[in-house]
Structure 1
Amino acid sequence: MGRTSPPPHGPPALVVVVGRAALDTVLDTYQTDILSGRKPLSAWDDAVSERRRAGGDEVRGRFQDQLA
């Protein structure tokens, strides 16, 4: 999965929107797989870890920086 980096500056909403779409795909895929029985509920921890590695922590950090 390619990583989309949010812009270094801009309104908080822009930072979230730019980085969030690709990150939401990770969670959406896991959610669908868990609800359809393709993956166990315990796989949700993997989804969160994958989202964080894909840039979730970076997006969160930029958003928090702009709120400070």
Structure 2
Amino acid sequence: RAYLRHCFHMNEIIGLRMITLHNVYYYMELMRRIRQGVTDGNLEELLKEVEVTGPPLAGRQE
């Protein structure tokens, strides 16, 4: 995480690329879960969960 932050603040291309890959993975996984929710019939439950948890935030301490 520290290296990613360093790369981002130093405007290194690798930092931007890694953030982009993370974001693409996040949205692909979210769409997979949404499709599965539609198939399983529990989309409303999933949407409530996603609304409460939301996407990972930059700088959030875990």
Q: What is the TM-score with the length of structure 1 in the denominator?
A: 0.43
